[in-house]
């Protein structure tokens, strides 16, 4: 008859059952009866880890992987390789391709920068002028409806010294010289604006009475050309006239002048201090100081009116060259 336990209490494991469970974990083949279980051997662990690393290397093509040992390879089945870093040239090429602007934006910017630089240069360093007339032939070529010389005028040279005899200079004509001057600007505002812009880069003559002549005498000197003289004299001495137009472009009335003087006789005139006596190289076809001797300066030009010295012809191409400034009197 089986006894029931109404309270649900179960008796503890008997000593016989406990001994039987312990016996299962004992290696009966071991003579000393020591427990043989899952105690790991340190040597076998090292061997297993070395084998695992060798296996990992073989999977990635005998190259060490960036992943820690023990992590499986990606389940793609493909060979794992490190992506090559882009070179410096490739990086700069990618950056430049991102920063490139369309040409229709770059071109106007370049043109604007060039115009600003040109205007700034001509305002401070030097300016290009167009020779409008024949008064400086043969040194400078100019005429109506022809390919006139473009000259470069050095505006800085007289910041360090004064004009000397023989210099070819550009100057602003005094008020008494403006009688024969007429503007060449258009009455149309747009056209006039383009003309003014063209004058800064030497394509159009400036809208002012700027003239180009050669310095013949400076402040304190006396200039003259009288009957019997071989040419213009400064302080009673002849000057070098090898640069003038010869033969003259116009005839001379010998009753009141001579070919040697380049027209009518004049002088003597003493040049005021800080003033210049100027004449054109084409003596018979130049309205210079001789034609304005009745004004307050006796035909001379204030040094302050001088814009600069003509240093070179830059156009046309067959006329490119420097402009000589000879020592016309020793």
Q: Report the number of distinct structural domains present in the chain.
A: 1
Does some domain include residue 139? yes
Q: Are 212 and 168 in contact (CB under 8 A)?
A: yes
Q: Are 212 and 170 in contact (CB under 8 A)?
A: yes
Does some domain include residue 158? yes
pLDDT of 12 higher than 80:
no
Burial of 97 from C-beta contacts in 10 A (0-12 / 13-18 / 19+):
exposed
Does some domain include residue 199? yes
- Across residues 282-307, what is the average pLDDT? 95
- Which residue, 257, 192, 201, is CA-closest to 229? 257
Classify strands 222-225 and 210-218 as parallel, antiparallel or unpaired: unpaired
Backbone angles phi, psi at 258, to 5 degrees: -155, 160
Does some domain include residue 77? no
Does some domain include residue 8? no
Burial of 192 from C-beta contacts in 10 A (0-12 / 13-18 / 19+):
middle
45-65: burial string, b at 16+ Cβ within 10 Å, e else: eeeeeeeeeeebeeebeeeeb
Beta bridge partners of 213: 169
**What is the rounded CA–CA span in Å between residue 174 and residue 168?**
18
Does some domain include residue 27? no
pLDDT digits (tens, 9 = 90+) for 182-210: 787 888 989 888 888 887 766 777 777 89
Catalytic residue among 135, 258, 286, 289: 135
- Which residue, 250, 296, 300, 257, is CA-closest to 277? 300
Tell me, what CATH number does 283's domain have? 2.10.109.10
pTM value is 0.66
Q: Which domain holds residue 304?
A: 106-322
Q: Which helix (H) or strand (E) holds 92?
A: helix 88-99
In the numeric block, the tokens 């060979």 are attached to 79
Centre a 10 Å sphere on the Cβ of residue 221 and count the other Cβ atoms it contains: 16
Q: Return the pLDDT at 101.
A: 77
Collapsing DSSP states into helix, strand and coil, what is residue 96?
helix
- Cα dist. 293→117, 176, 193 in Å? 41, 10, 36
Does some domain include residue 87? no
| pLDDT band, very low/low/confident/very high, at 77 (cuts 50, 70, 90) | low
Does some domain include residue 38? no
Between 194 and 256, the higher pLDDT residue: 256
Collapsing DSSP states into helix, strand and coil, what is residue 258?
strand
∠ CA 250-251-256, rounded to 5°: 125
Between 156 and 99, the higher pLDDT residue: 156
Catalytic residue among 133, 155, 213, 289: 213
Q: Are 158 and 317 in contact (CB under 8 A)?
A: no
**What is the rounded CA–CA span in Å between residue 227 and residue 231?**
9
**What is the rounded CA–CA span in Å between residue 207 and residue 205?**
7
Give the rounded percent of residues in the chain with a pLDDT score beyond 70. Answer: 70
Contacts of 281 (CB under 8 A, 6+ apart): 135, 136, 137, 138, 139, 140, 214, 243, 244, 245
pLDDT of 270 higher than 90:
yes
- Cα dist. 245→137, 193, 282, 286 in Å? 6, 37, 5, 11
Between 323 and 117, the higher pLDDT residue: 323
- Across residues 6-26, what is the average pLDDT? 54
Between 283 and 204, the higher pLDDT residue: 283
pLDDT of 223 higher than 70:
yes
Q: Return the pLDDT at 163.
A: 97
Q: Return the pLDDT at 115.
A: 84
Q: Give catalytic status of residue 213 as yes or no.
A: yes
Q: Return the pLDDT at 287.
A: 93
Q: Give catalytic status of residue 30 as yes or no.
A: no
């Amino acid at each position: 008859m089986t006894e029931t336990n109404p309270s649900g209490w179960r008796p503890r494991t008997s000593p016989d059952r406990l001994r039987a469970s312990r016996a299962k974990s004992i290696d009966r083949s071991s003579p000393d009866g020591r427990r043989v279980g899952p105690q790991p051997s340190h040597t076998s662990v090292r061997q297993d880890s070395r084998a695992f690393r060798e296996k990992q290397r073989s999977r990635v093509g005998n190259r060490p992987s960036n992943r820690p040992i023990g992590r499986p390879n990606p389940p793609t089945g493909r060979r794992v390789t490190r992506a090559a870093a882009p070179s410096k040239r490739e990086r700069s090429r990618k950056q430049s391709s991102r920063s490139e602007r369309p040409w229709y934006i770059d071109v106007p910017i370049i043109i604007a920068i060039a115009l600003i630089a040109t205007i700034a240069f001509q305002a401070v360093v030097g300016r290009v002028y167009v020779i409008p007339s024949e008064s400086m032939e043969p040194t400078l070529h100019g005429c109506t409806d022809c390919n006139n010389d473009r000259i470069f005028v050095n505006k800085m040279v007289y910041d360090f010294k004064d004009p000397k005899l023989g210099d070819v200079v550009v100057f602003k004509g005094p008020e008494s010289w403006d009688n024969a001057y007429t503007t060449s600007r258009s009455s149309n505002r747009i056209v006039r604006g383009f003309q003014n812009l063209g004058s800064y880069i030497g394509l159009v003559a400036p809208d002012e009475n700027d003239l180009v002549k050669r310095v013949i005498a400076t402040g304190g000197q006396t200039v003259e050309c009288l009957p019997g003289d071989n040419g213009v004299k400064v302080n009673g001495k002849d000057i070098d006239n090898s640069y003038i137009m010869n033969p003259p472009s116009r005839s001379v009335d010998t009753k009141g002048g001579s070919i040697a003087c380049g027209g009518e006789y004049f002088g003597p005139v003493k040049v005021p201090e800080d003033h210049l006596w100027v004449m054109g190289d084409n003596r018979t076809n130049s309205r210079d100081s001789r034609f304005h001797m009745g004004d307050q300066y006796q035909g001379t030009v204030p040094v302050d009116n001088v814009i600069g010295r003509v240093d070179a012809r830059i156009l046309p191409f067959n006329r490119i060259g420097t402009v000589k400034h000879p020592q016309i009197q020793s």
